[in-house]
Amino acid sequence: MRNLIHTACVLSVVMPLTACSFSNDWHRSEMTMNLTSDHIAGSAVEVRSRNGRIEVVAVQNRTDIAITAKIYARGNTMAEASERLAASTLLISRTDDGTLLIEPSFPDPVRGGDGANILIELPDAHGATLRTSNGSVHTYGLTGTLIIDTSNGTITVDDHVGVLTVDTSNGSIRINGLNGPVKAKTSNGSIVLALHDDQGGPIDLDTSNGSITVRVGSNFAGTVTLDTSNGSITVRDHSGRIKSQTISKSYGRIVVGEGGKASRLDTSNGRIRFTISG
């Protein structure tokens, strides 16, 4: 069950509508909505979108939530696109556990070209689930369990504390300053991961086509397998943490520290670089 937010939100819509023709067969009309909402400390965020990018950023010294959404609707004519846009909106509600739920709404039948680019700025978020069919996703400064899923688009996660699970069919994955275990998968794209110095793993990275580059700190531990069908494997240890290693052209196995959970780096086409910083 969820409760729609009414009095807590201040809404402004930037007008006029901007209508753009993209082909001889269909047109697109768009508008920008700016909203603010009260913040519940330590609550989670969920975005259910269909097309468009999502960005969720923790902003120091902010006390409320600011949401900027560029919503666009498709029509066979410019008039139809504008009419459908006028019936579109951004739904904002709170579930029973306090999760802030955000989802674009479009008139039926929903068109393939309907979507929204959503930016959320808030003091903090403990847990987030972000889903979009076509678009990039970026988060900064969040905590808790973070789940990101997009069909086509890059994923960038900066300074996250907590469990991370990310999945994109087509796009690169960039994770910087992660303090927590991670599972990341992309069908087509490179994966770059930098763990926080104090984080011990594990990590599970999988790409069908793309390189994998990983940097961990001196507290990382466990058994790491490195597997590539077409590409080289490079392991650098600047802290003397590796206890044993077996490296061939396309497969590697290293034991770091005094043991721990298993980690996996797997790519079908691309090189693998694993570095332990000093």
Closest CA to 120 of 92, 150, 147, 145: 92
What pLDDT does residue 14 have?
42
Tell me which DSSP letter residue 111 carries: P
What pLDDT does residue 2 have?
52
CA distance 56 to 231: 35
Coil, strand or helix: which one is 83? Answer: helix
What pLDDT does residue 10 have?
40
If 0-12 CB within 10 Å is exposed, 13-18 middle and 19+ buried, where does residue 63 land?
Answer: exposed
What pLDDT does residue 101 have?
97
Closest CA to 137 of 83, 85, 90, 184: 184
Cross-strand pairs, 42? none
pLDDT digits (tens, 9 = 90+) for 108-121: 999 989 999 999 99
What pLDDT does residue 3 have?
52
Q: In Å, what is the CA distance from 173 to each residue of 112, 155, 163, 218, 243?
A: 25, 5, 16, 23, 29
If 0-12 CB within 10 Å is exposed, 13-18 middle and 19+ buried, where does residue 175 land?
Answer: buried
Going residue by residue through the chain (278 aa), what tens digit of pLDDT does each one get? 455 443 344 444 443 344 444 444 689 999 999 999 999 999 999 999 989 999 999 999 999 999 999 999 999 999 999 999 999 999 999 999 999 999 999 999 999 899 999 999 999 999 999 999 999 999 999 999 999 999 899 999 999 999 999 999 899 999 999 999 999 999 999 999 999 998 999 999 999 999 999 999 999 999 999 999 989 999 999 999 999 999 998 999 999 998 788 999 999 989 999 999 97
Coil, strand or helix: which one is 63? Answer: coil
Coil, strand or helix: which one is 85? Answer: helix
What pLDDT does residue 35 have?
95
What pLDDT does residue 50 have?
87
Q: Greatest CA span in the chain, whole angstroms?
A: 68
Residue in this structure with the two tokens 């688009």, named with its chain if needed: 153
What pLDDT does residue 203 have?
97
Q: What torsion do the CA atoms of 139, 140, 141, 146 make, to the nearest 10 degrees?
A: 20
Tokens representing 263? 């980690």
Domain ranges of the chain: 1-138, 154-278
Q: Residues 6 or more apart from 24 whose CB is under 8 A from it? A: none
pLDDT digits (tens, 9 = 90+) for 197-237: 989 999 999 999 999 999 999 999 999 999 999 899 999 99
What pLDDT does residue 278 have?
79
Whole-structure pTM value? 0.91
